[in-house]
Amino acid sequence: MTKTIRQSLKVRVRVADGLLLLGIIIAGAGILIWQWHSHIEFVIAGLAVLIVGLMVRLGVRCPKCTFVLSRPRNFCPNCGVSFDNLRY
């Protein structure tokens, strides 16, 4: 079964949002731990995961014209391709 463009974009957005949330949790926990122990590694690791999540989120683009999609829509605002079409 082939996926629609919308389904593949939803997967990318969910992965990116999961990485962003995980990065926030790790960095926040690292900041709390840093108050009692001198372990900055958790903060750095959390920020690294956060940056990777941000880069993945910015990499969600229209497959036809490579326009960066800021939020899910029914069509690409640049080229007008419907995201309910099958992935090509």
pLDDT in tens, 19-65: 999 999 998 888 888 777 777 888 889 899 999 999 998 888 888 88
Confidence class for position 71, pLDDT limits 50, 70, 90: confident
DSSP 24-86: HHHHHHHHHHHHHS---HHHHHHHHHHHHHHHHHHT-B-TTT-PBPSS--SB-TTT--BTTSB
With 70 as the cut, is the pLDDT of residue 79 above it? yes
